[in-house]
Structure 1
Amino acid sequence: MVKAPIVTSVEVNEIEFEIRDVTTEPIIGIPIYEKGSSIRRKAHVLRVNTDAGITGEYFGGNAVEYAAIPGLARLLIGKNALDRELFYNDAKQALRQQASMGRSQIDIALWDVAGKLLGVPVHQLLGTYRKELPCYASTYISDFDPDGLSSSEAMADFAEQCFELGYPAFKIHPWMGQPLNKQIEMVAAVGKRMAGKMDLMLDPVCTYETFGDAVKVGKVCDEWGYYWYEDPFRDSGVSAFAHKKLREIINTPILQTEHIRGLEQHVDFVLSGGTDFVRGDPDYDGGITGLMKLAHATEGLGLDLEVHVAGPDRRQTMAAMRNSNFYEMGLLHPKHPGMKPPIYQDGYVDNLTAIDAQGKVSVPDGPGLGVPLDWDYINAHTTDHAMYS
């Protein structure tokens, strides 16, 4: 019998790195392509150390989530690192007034501990369903650089490029704050070029100002047979009633719940009729423990759970799900290699050319999350470090 690994400390490294040829989008603040510009970004690496000499590691999450780590560490020190369900529920109660920020990253690191302890990948602990995942190409936010995704034609060209690379599906992230007719033109241009060749999705990142705008764009999605329509307008994706009404008016399936946090709220949203596809994210929804609860709840309702963005933890969880269609490869741009630092070893990447000829990626089979972190890179770029013991 394996001796229980006891948590001895929790560590956080803050790293800083440069991203070239991007600038900051002025409304929502994420990077967009702009040749010749550059920005500096911060990111975090979490470690949960145990007396068994095994360390659970996770790269991901944001500064707001990491602000909760000092308080959560006290729930872990001296406890069995395998008691993930207990931590999930204790942290859920402790963070009931803080939107559950911080528990997700610790939970993911605890799954890494368990896999490393037993010498198996997380997907095997969860129960493997598959080891290859079909991908969709998920674009950068549309930009204003003449050499970038600055026109409907450029977006259609990129969709065609992704199709030729083997991607079976393509998702548009359009401009923020631009006229509706310009937005509609892009949806139609990509539809005209690629409908019937690949599945098309649209994620306006809640940019359309009114419900009426969302309806107008949704009807264009209907015309070109879009696979799903995600987070269209400025309710910020949280009104089940509004999206139920939208579902009654347009034919294109709706994908919601990226901005709904946790199991119960997701289920309430679905039962209220607010979505067709369900969105889940291990960083937002309670880690791997929370995401798998959501996957099973969604499966019980006969629906599909689509996992948000890319990473080793996402691949591990999707490998244990039947009811999920695509791995979100992104964010992608025809002229930019990506915004993520080279944090992983063993050649692991999530970029435009990471797929095979069938448009799939494999699930890492190493212990835990499956891919070791590059600590030479992390240490060289660390700007702050904290240990809680």
Structure 2
Amino acid sequence: MTSTVQAVSQSQSGRDSTIARVELFLFKQEMQNVAFDVSPSGIDMPDVRSSRTRLAITLETRDGCKGEYIGGRSDIVPHLSFGAKRVLGQSAFDRERFYTDLRRHLRKEDRIGLSQLDIVLWDWLGKQLGASVSDLLGGGKDRLPAYASTWFGGDGSGLEHPEAYADFAEECYGLGYRAFKMHGWVDGNVERERSAILKLGDRVGGRMNLMHDAACHLITFADALAVGRACDEAGFFWYEDPYSDLGLSAHSHRRLRELLKTPILLGEHVRGLESLATLVLAGGTDFVRADPNFDIGITGTMKIAHFAEALGIDVELHGCGPAHRQCMAAIRNTNYYELSMVSPSRGQPVNPFYAGGYSDLLDDVDSDGSFPVPKGPGLGVEYDWDVVTRNLVNHIVIE
């Protein structure tokens, strides 16, 4: 089946949009000042060197047009490979059909692995048509207000005690940020979490919008309630993934919403538009999470955003990157770009893979606390492929 856009494009240019080749690259990225041994989520840790495996994908059509993307989880390669094999020989314009068909084929899985395939198809589309993804989605924003979102704290880290979070928030305010989110500690210590929340409220409350993300480390509903009441006292903007139900229980979070003033944010761990809609309609959350790297790419993220808009609530994108910026630029009902993960020790890549000036580093925020939306074709960024090839772990070619 030939789509209208495909037919118009091919009739005007004579180009062949048939997908001819997909390549997957797994490579090591060296990190400084962040440790992954205590928690795979990462803890701010001065003078520590570590590494993590990253994923890159390219997709090329018969006319030579190529989409590129680096991002997302590296453990989804089997599902990504499956999806790439299924789209080979088909039109790169048919993203909506791929979304429907591939998600059905992987209905017994979490489908995260389809996200990178969808994103690279959007990058291909923008390059084919000479437009940024945000313009193709409707655009509307050139700059995005950001919040600084921390690594986790730990013993010996730059975020070892509650005062360190308040100190770091002050530092971020000085850089231009007007919103700040703390990821606390991974041991479920309620009193330490409460102390950090209250110190943040005392130090920067009224000057910065403040968020707390427990990342499901609190153990019980009672723990979540106690920390939430500290958020109420400090006037927090939202309270995210409070405890160990993994942000999945609509009933318990509806009860939290009834008992707390601070809005709840869930959705990071809910897979699929329909499951997220069920959670929202059951009263489980105030804000909705979406992520191009988790929610079947840009296509899935925009479906979630439009669902939230129809209900009159906001969607907040999880994480950062060019796909996130392109989506957020075209979403009305959203507030902040998450600049994650950051810390006083500057836990960040030693060998960033972006070229051409794009950055998601803490200190590269503009003085007004915002980041620009890339305006080049597709995702609007250039990658340093020498970094990928020098640190290559595995290379898979599907053709």
TM-score, normalized by the shorter chain, greater than 0.5:
yes
1:123 corresponds to 2:117: no
1:188 corresponds to 2:198: yes
Give the 3-state SS of the residue equivalent to 1:67 in structure 2: helix
Q: Which amino acid aligns with 1:256?
A: L
Indicate the residue corresponding to 1:39 in structure 2: 50
1:178, CA displacement in angstroms? 4.5
1:340, CA displacement in angstroms? 7.4
Q: Residue 310 of structure 2: which of 300, 307, 311 is its match?
A: 300
Segments of 5+ residues of structure 2 without an aligned counterpart are 1-7, 11-15
1:23 corresponds to 2:45: no
Q: Residue 317 of structure 1: which of 307, 320, 327 is its match?
A: 327
Q: Which amino acid aligns with 1:132?
A: R
Give the 3-state SS of the residue equivalent to 1:103 in structure 2: helix
1:91, CA displacement in angstroms? 0.7
Indicate the residue corresponding to 2:376 in structure 1: 366
Distance 1:167 1:30, change over 3 A: same
Q: Matched residues, percent identical?
A: 42
1:32, CA displacement in angstroms? 1.5
Indicate the residue corresponding to 1:170 in structure 2: 180
- Structure 2 matches for 1:127-138, cutoff 5 A? 127-138=138-149
TM value normalised by structure 1: 0.97
1:376, CA displacement in angstroms? 1.5
Q: Which amino acid aligns with 2:9?
A: V
Of the structure 1 ranges 313-322 and 176-185, higher mean CA displacement relative to structure 2 is found in 176-185
Distance, in Å, in 2 between the alignment partners of 1:272 and 1:301 is: 13
- Aligned residue pairs total 387
TM value normalised by structure 2: 0.94
Segments of 5+ residues of structure 1 without an aligned counterpart are none
Contact persistence 1:95–1:101 (CA under 8 A): no
Q: Which amino acid aligns with 2:319?
A: V
Q: Residue 242 of structure 1: which of 252, 265, 276 is its match?
A: 252
1:135, CA displacement in angstroms? 0.4
Indicate the residue corresponding to 2:80 in structure 1: 69
Superposition CA RMSD, Å: 1.3
Indicate the residue corresponding to 1:329 in structure 2: 339
Contact persistence 1:64–1:101 (CA under 8 A): no
Q: Residue 98 of structure 1: which of 106, 109, 115 is its match?
A: 109
Distance, in Å, in 2 between the alignment partners of 1:56 and 1:245 is: 45
- Structure 2 matches for 1:254-269, cutoff 5 A? 254-269=264-279
Q: Residue 14 of structure 1: which of 23, 26, 37 is its match?
A: 26
Contact persistence 2:18–2:89 (CA under 8 A): yes
List per-residue Cα deviations over 1:179-235 (Å, max 9, x = no partner): 211111111111111111110000011111100011011111111110000001000
Distance, in Å, in 2 between the alignment partners of 1:350 and 1:70 is: 28
Indicate the residue corresponding to 1:113 in structure 2: 124
1:30, CA displacement in angstroms? 2.3
Distance, in Å, in 2 between the alignment partners of 1:275 and 1:15 is: 37
Give the 3-state SS of the residue equivalent to 2:182 in structure 1: strand
1:141, CA displacement in angstroms? 0.6
